[in-house]
A and B are shown apart, each in its own frame.
Chain A
Amino acid sequence: MSKEEIKFGRSKGFFETFERRPGPIKKNMHYCPGCGHGILHKLVAEALVDLEMQDKMIFISPVGCSVFAYYYFDCGGISVPHGRAPAVATGLLRANPDSYVISYQGDGDLGAIGLNNFLQAANRGENLTVCFVNNAIYGMTSGQMAPTTLIGHKTATSPYGRTVTNEGFPLKVAEMVAALESPVYVERVALTSTKNIRSARRALRKGLTNMKEKKGFSLIEFLSGCPINLKKSAEATDEWIEEEMIPYFPLGCLKDIADERDKIIRPIPIFDKEKVTKALLESAGNIKFGDKQTKLRKDLRIKCAGFGGQGVLSLGMMIAAMGQSRNINVSWLPSYGPEMRGGTANCSVVMSNDIIGTPIVIETNILITMNQPSMDKFLPDLATKGILLYDSTSIKPPKTKSRVYAVEATRIALDIGNIKCANSVIMGAFAACLKGFELENYEGAFEEAIKTTFRKKPQLIDMNILAFRKGKDSVKTVNV
């Protein structure tokens, strides 16, 4: 009789069975025969267990053949849009600096669509390990040219072979990252022979250990086989990597300064609701939240629209300031065309006794328009029980069932002597429309708001208050 002991076997870093994988096959992975992704997955699974990182690890599955990697690893997992793994990783790591994240990415994902996200994360020195699988091809979409495709290589999108003149040289990602200050460790390895796989295993563990010790950013570039798209056997694929890829993408460590670097300690994030509110309000200038708040009957979702130069944005700002002075929560969101004057402009103002979710206003309950195109554009979005206020100097009376008020704002402003105070005329008219409707002491609130808005141009305050009062007295009810 003899006893047997497993020396090498299925890692506990993998799920026992791959329940997430659709179909009857639950023990092996979805990759093609001989695919480098599988080889690397085994090294990752084993390292997660040996380095005791499973419980705190979030493995990010990219877009590419490894999009389903979350079927396999017994650790946290998240799938992200193409190329966005380092950005999502940053969020995860900043929200929870004690977590570990592997950003697992292909050459299309990292080197093409996601290059900026990747380089910025490397340059910020996120405490992250990036596993870069360079198979010199877009595997998943069946063989298009990647940034790392070799010169002369024929692919679906380089049918005559990649050329330097047409597509440039293959991108040397590891060299590029090694040239940055922040990354602590950069190595290129190959998933081919036993010797190379063993050094890939060592490199991966080094990268993960750096993360565990909070040393910052590590990149390991794995030259990896895609036998299906190369149309070669696994063995011929290995030979191709060794004879064609490695001469251009030399193996070896390009940077290893983890020992010289201190631990990265970033500010501890705050999740406590009260503390977050307090921190936000402190930065906004010590407003006492919820204190003596004027009660609104319902949220106001206001749109002010006109052309640039009519003052619709500052009109919205004045309305928001009026709400703010009564401790109502407000948001103000401008939207204007590229031309500063003469183009269309509008802003959205939300007022609420509650916390404001989105500052975007689609369905409005108060619409203020200062020219005809804005009226035509935004009137359909006005709620049936909403209020419309418009400048009747130039706008024709609209057909609507909503409550409608009109004021000859531009005309009155011209009479006062400055067309620019048309928006204050509108403010006055607005105050009149709201009379008895929403706010107590609304007039005082509006006048205060004008003073706040023009605090840096005090010579304009009196004229605007005059415009405000004229607007209030001249508003006409068109339809109630």
Chain B
Amino acid sequence: MSEKKKKKFRINITPDECKGCGRCIYSCPVKVLSLTNKVNSMGIVYAQYNGADCIGCGSCFYACPEPGAITIYEIKPDEKGKE
């Protein structure tokens, strides 16, 4: 349990609320976001989370101009410390 105190996070980008501006992507300090090669229902190429290493800093959330496109979750281990 060497990394026992390290918090874990993930983010979700709702495709239909994203306008593909890229603000979250260049604001992320650990570069874990990118544009997809898919379009949402508005016909916009949207952003996505690469799936790992989010540090939960909130930069992408405040950079994003849409109210609910981005949600950042803290993953809390259960009592036994498992994920």
A interface list, Cβ under 8 A from B: 1-11, 14, 25, 27-29, 31-39, 41-43, 45, 72, 193-194, 197-198, 201, 227, 233-235
Contact = CB atoms under 8 A, between A and B. Distances in A.
Given A1-B82, A194-B27, A29 B66 contact: yes
Given A29-B65, A34-B22, A35-B65, A7 B73 contact: yes
A28 B66 CA distance: 6
A29 B19 CA distance: 10
Contacts of B21: 33-34, 227, 234
Contacts of B66: 28-29, 38
Which of B56, B58, B62, B74 is most buried by chain A, counting CB atoms within 10 A of its CB?
B62
A28 B19 contact: yes
Going nearest first, the 5 A-B pairs with the smallest beta carbon separation are: A38-B65, A10-B68, A34-B21, A33-B21, A33-B19
A9 B9 CA distance: 13
A1 B79 CA distance: 10
Given A33-B21, A39-B62, A2 B76 contact: yes
18 contacts: A2-B77, A6-B71, A6-B74, A7-B9, A7-B56, A25-B42, A29-B65, A32-B19, A33-B19, A34-B22, A38-B67, A39-B63, A42-B65, A194-B59, A194-B62, A234-B23, A235-B23, A235-B26
B75 A4 contact: yes
Interface residues of B, number: 39
Contacts of B19: 28, 32-34
Which of B16, B23, B27, B57 is most buried by chain A, counting CB atoms within 10 A of its CB?
B23
Contacts of A194: 27, 29, 57, 59, 62-63
Nearest to A10: B68
B17 A27 contact: yes
A1 to B, nearest CB: 5
B22 A235 contact: yes
Contacts, number: 115
Contacts of B68: 9-10, 14, 27-28
B23 A6 contact: no
Contacts of A193: 27
B67 A14 contact: yes
A39 B65 CA distance: 4
A144 B57 CA distance: 38
Given A1-B82, A234-B22, 14 more contacts: A2-B76, A2-B83, A7-B56, A8-B58, A9-B68, A9-B70, A14-B67, A25-B16, A28-B66, A34-B23, A42-B65, A45-B67, A194-B62, A235-B26
Which of A11, A28, A42 is most buried by chain B, counting CB atoms within 10 A of its CB?
A28
Contacts of B64: 38-39, 42
Contacts of A10: 67-68, 71
A5 B16 CA distance: 22
Contact of A8 (B23, B26, B65, B71): B71
Given A7-B56, A27-B17, A201 B65 contact: no
Nearest to A198: B62
Contact of B78 (A3, A35, A197): A3
Which of A4, A43, A201 is most buried by chain B, counting CB atoms within 10 A of its CB?
A4
B13 to A, nearest CB: 12
B22 A27 contact: no
B18 to A, nearest CB: 8
B56 to A, nearest CB: 6
Contacts of B72: 6-9
Given A7-B73, A34-B23, A193-B27, A1 B78 contact: yes
